[in-house]
Homo-oligomer: A and B are copies of this chain.
Amino acid sequence: MNNIAYYNGTYAPLEELTIPALDRAVYFGDGVYEAAYFRNGRPFALDDHLKRFKNSLGFVKIAYPTESEEELEKILRGLCDKIGGEGIVYWQTSRATAPRNHAFPENAKSNLLAWAKHKPLGDFTAPIKLMTMDDIRYKMCNVKTLNLMPNIMASQAAKESGCDEAVFVRDGLVTEGSHSNIHIIKDKKIITHENGSLILPGTVRSHLLRVAEKLGIAYEERPFAPEEMYTADEVLVTSATTFFRHACELNGRAVGMRDNETYMQLVGEYMQWMERETE
């Protein structure tokens, strides 16, 4: 079994699962989501994802999709367990199934769509190529909603330019990637955009800082300009499904790859932690 999906109590192969056309995710993108890595059928950092999920729901005033938080956790762990091995568990909650009206429906009952699929992590340390792009997104990037059109367009543009990820720039400063957080290492110090409405509070971003602290590596939370990326020793690209990647190119110019020691130290510590958690 390569994948298994769930919707409001029903299980089916992901390709066969259907949902009502009147689920507000379908016509408004009115929902929030999470995606986490699992190994040995056990989700990694699930608590962090569930906490952020709850925050996202709160921001947009969507009801929790299950009777209890434990119930959601049980469903998600069950999906991972059914697939086993290594993969991604994804889940989203939309506000309701209701006739199309902008304002919230009365007595809204939220929906839970989830799936787990087999997907090996592979060697994520292979250097990647980046390109910058104007950050035209809405100013609630801290909420992980289903409104991802600008992210999709940026990802596709990056792909068409032979790049692996797009780096958003707003008012001259790097915010984050189209589906990742961006950081630099300069003189053994990590520099990363502070949390707020302009970036997603990445789970791996917070892990990066936790691991850095443990290793005695300094960090500073502030935005940086693309120019700083060119002179950085390493450019890091983090996400829950690809962990700690690093970049060798930005807009066709060589970047980073000058402090592999620090990079591999961070990666090594992170992987040890992840492996302990998913044994």
A159 part of interface (Cβ distance < 8 Å): yes
CA distance A178 to B103 in the complex (A): 10
Q: Does A210 have its Cβ within 8 Å of any Cβ on chain B?
A: no
**Which residues of B sit under 8 angstroms from A149, Cβ to Cβ?**
28-30, 60, 138, 140, 145-147
The count of identical subunits is 2
Q: Mark A231-245, 1 if CB is under 8 A from B, else 0.
A: 000000000000000
Residue interface bits A156-171, CB-to-B below 8 A is 1, else 0: 1011000000000000
Q: How far apart sit A54 and B209, CA to CA, in the bound complex (Å)?
A: 46
Inter-subunit contact B155/A138 (CB<8 Å):
no
Does A139 sit at the interface, judged by CB under 8 A?
A: yes
- B residues within 8 A CB of A26? 19, 23, 25-26, 113, 146
With A and B bound together, what is the CA distance between A165 and B219 in angstroms? 45
Instruction: Determine if A152 is an interface residue (Cβ-Cβ < 8 Å).
Output: yes
Q: Within 8 Å of chain B (Cβ to Cβ): is A148?
A: yes
A128 is an interface residue with CB less than 8 A from chain B: no
CB neighbours of A178 from chain B (8 A): 102
Q: Is A92 part of the binding interface, using a Cβ–Cβ cutoff of 8 Å? A: yes
With contacts A113-B21, A140-B136, A147-B149 taken as known, whether A103 is within 8 angstroms of B30 at the C-beta atoms is no
Judged by a CB distance under 8 angstroms, whether A38 is at the interface is no
User: Pick the contact of A28 from B19, B28, B117, B148 — CB < 8 Å?
Assistant: B148
Contact call A21/B29, Cβ cutoff below 8 A: no
Q: Decide if A14 touches B25 in the complex (CB within 8 Å).
A: no
**Chain A contact residues (Cβ within 8 angstroms of B): what range?**
35 or more
A18 within 8 A of B: yes
B21 touches A152 (CB 8 A): no
Q: How far is the CB of A78 from chain B (nearest CB, A)?
A: 18
Which residues on the B side are within 8 Å of A155 (C-beta)?
102-103
A222 interfacial by beta-carbon distance below 8 Å: no
Residues on B with C-beta less than 8 A from A152 are 28, 30, 102-104
| Interface membership of A53, Cβ < 8 A | no
Q: How far is B87's CA from A58's CA once the two chains are assembled, in angstroms?
A: 35
B-contacting residues of A (Cβ < 8 Å)? Answer: 5, 7, 14-15, 17-23, 25-30, 33, 60-61, 90, 92, 99-100, 102-104, 113, 115, 117, 136-140, 145-153, 155-156, 158-159, 178-179, 197
**A-B residue pairs in contact (CB < 8 Å), sample of 15:** A14-B21, A15-B20, A18-B21, A21-B115, A25-B25, A29-B147, A30-B148, A30-B152, A60-B149, A102-B148, A102-B155, A136-B197, A138-B149, A146-B149, A147-B147
